[in-house]
């Protein structure tokens, strides 16, 4: 089957799916949450995590003011919440009240930690830099929250117990993993 080869990049959504997370922030007595798919670990030592956010987002304004943010990894059962949080503005409403989002107490920051998250990172802002129409926000992870039973003894997400939300890159299309598709391929097993 031939591939399409073009210089007309356009939407470039071929790199999806990606795990959708809910980014949380708090400042000036206001909490907010937004859904993001453009995020990544950056460094183990120190533990750094980054997320790409439009500077137009209310969450970005709160992060800039407070210098901290949360990354909440949600199970598939909360995909409709991710869509709602991603499709509304925190400047216009209190999303926590509107969508009945339950919070847990943070350990080292003031950011909301979502009760339904199977894992969450509390991050202190260390850098932010504009790239095109988004800001790459980098935080040092200063506290972890996670359900121990959601992970294997090797600290790998147990897909038989938790299915993460995968964002497919087009509007509000989400999917999840199929546990039967998992294969362990060790680097040492690969021949040249």
Q: Map residue 1 onto helix, strand or coil.
A: coil
pLDDT in tens, 37-65: 999 999 999 999 999 999 999 999 999 99
The CATH number given to whatever domain includes residue 52 is 2.30.110.10
Residue 10 falls within a domain, yes or no? Answer: no
Is residue 9 assigned to a domain? no
The residue behind tokens 């216009």 is 92
Q: Which pLDDT score, from 0 to 100, does residue 5 have? A: 80
Cut 0.75: pTM above it: yes
Residue 177 · residue 163 · CB < 8 Å: yes
How many whole angstroms separate alpha carbon 111 and alpha carbon 23? 9
Phi, psi of 100, rounded to the nearest 5 degrees: 50, 50
Q: Give the number of other CB atoms < 10 A from CB of residue 143.
A: 16
Q: Judge whether 1 lies within some domain.
A: no
Structural domain that includes position 146: 18-189
Distance between CA atoms of residues 17 and 147, nearest Å: 24
Q: How many domains does the chain have?
A: 1
Instruction: Tell me if 8 is assigned to some domain.
Output: no
Residue 79 domain-assigned (yes or no)? yes
Rg of the chain, C-alpha, whole Å: 18
* 51 in a structural domain: yes
Model confidence over 106-161: pLDDT tens digits?
A: 999 999 999 999 999 999 999 999 999 999 999 999 999 999 999 999 999 999 99
Q: Look at residue 11 and tell me whether its pLDDT is greater than 80.
A: no
Those residues with Cβ within 8 angstroms of residue 11's Cβ, 6 or more apart along the chain or in another chain: 169
Residue the block writes with tokens 């009760």: 115
Question: Does 166 reside within a domain?
Answer: yes
Cα distance between residue 21 and residue 180, in whole Å: 23
């Amino acid at each position: 089957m031939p591939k399409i080869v073009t210089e007309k990049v356009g939407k470039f959504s071929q790199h999806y799916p990606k795990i959708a997370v809910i980014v949380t922030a708090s400042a000036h007595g206001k909490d907010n949450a937004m859904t993001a798919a453009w995020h990544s670990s950056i460094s183990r030592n120190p533990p750094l995590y980054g997320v790409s956010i439009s500077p137009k987002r209310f969450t970005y304004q709160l992060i800039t003011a407070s210098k901290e943010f949360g990354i909440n990894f949600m199970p598939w059962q909360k995909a409709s919440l991710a869509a709602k949080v991603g499709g509304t503005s925190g400047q216009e409403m209190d999303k926590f009240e509107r969508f009945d989002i339950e919070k847990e107490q943070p350990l080292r920051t003031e950011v909301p930690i979502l009760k339904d998250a199977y894992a969450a990172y509390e991050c202190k802002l260390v850098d932010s830099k504009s790239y095109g129409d988004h800001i790459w926000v980098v935080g040092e992870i200063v506290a972890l929250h996670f359900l121990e039973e959601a992970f294997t003894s090797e600290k790998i997400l147990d897909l038989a117990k938790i299915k993460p939300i995968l964002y497919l890159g087009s509007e509000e299309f989400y999917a999840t993993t199929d546990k039967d598709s998992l294969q362990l391929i060790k680097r040492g097993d690969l021949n040249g």
